[in-house]
Structure 1
């Protein structure tokens, strides 16, 4: 159940949230870093 919820969240993240691939994390704003961290957390929990 938990993994299927996180897999659904990963699909929603890919569709809705912006992607920051190829950008330097040090140059991102705090809000962008929060989004990046949230995407990472969801991805790790879905695996």
Structure 2
């Protein structure tokens, strides 16, 4: 299930690494998206 969600996230959600976002200067909504993507990706790899 998480593999499917991870593929959808890759298509829909923005990639902050490509935008060279500095995490120390990120807004709360950006940190929430980063945390969500990390959670889904780590679960998809298990």
Mark yes or no: TM-score above 0.5.
Answer: yes
- Could you tell me which runs of 5 or more consecutive residues in structure 1 were left unpaired when the two chains were aligned: none
- Could you tell me which runs of 5 or more consecutive residues in structure 2 were left unpaired when the two chains were aligned: none
Alignment of 1:1-47 (within 5 A): 5-21=1-17, 22-47=20-45
Q: Give the 4+ runs in structure 1 shifted more than 2 A.
A: none
Q: CA RMSD in A?
A: 0.7
